[in-house]
Amino acid sequence: MPGSQNLYDNSKVHEAIEFAHDNNRLVCAICAAPFILGRKGLLTGKEATCFPGFENELSGAIKNEGVVKSENIITAQGAGVAWEFGERIARELVGCEISQKILLGLQWKK
């Protein structure tokens, strides 16, 4: 913070999130940023995670895991799981086999 609050205050961010959500595209948020999705009501009935301390903003969608995918939304707790967050996004975009090749090319082992 205040990075996530600045994102929340930006109308272009809201437009991008709404476009992605309305068109069943991926919506991804890490660290405190999932609170934006919670405030927008996009986490109702879904599971999500965030940086500790922001759980009350997730509309009850809390799951205490590093990275969580629920429908078209991927959330992550913070910098400590950034690799897993990126891999989960890549897996959704290009499939498991290619995402694993990308990670191995980065010398990251799961």
| Positions of E strands within 1-110 | 27-30, 67-70, 73-76
Q: Name the nearest CA neighbour of 86 among 107, 65, 67.
A: 67
Q: Which among 28, 31, 50, 96 is annotated as catalytic?
A: 31
**Any residues with CB less than 8 A from the CB of 56 and at least 6 apart, and which?**
none
Structure tokens at 17: 């999130």
**Any residues with CB less than 8 A from the CB of 94 and at least 6 apart, and which?**
102
Give yes or no: 31 in active site. Answer: yes
Residues designated catalytic: 31
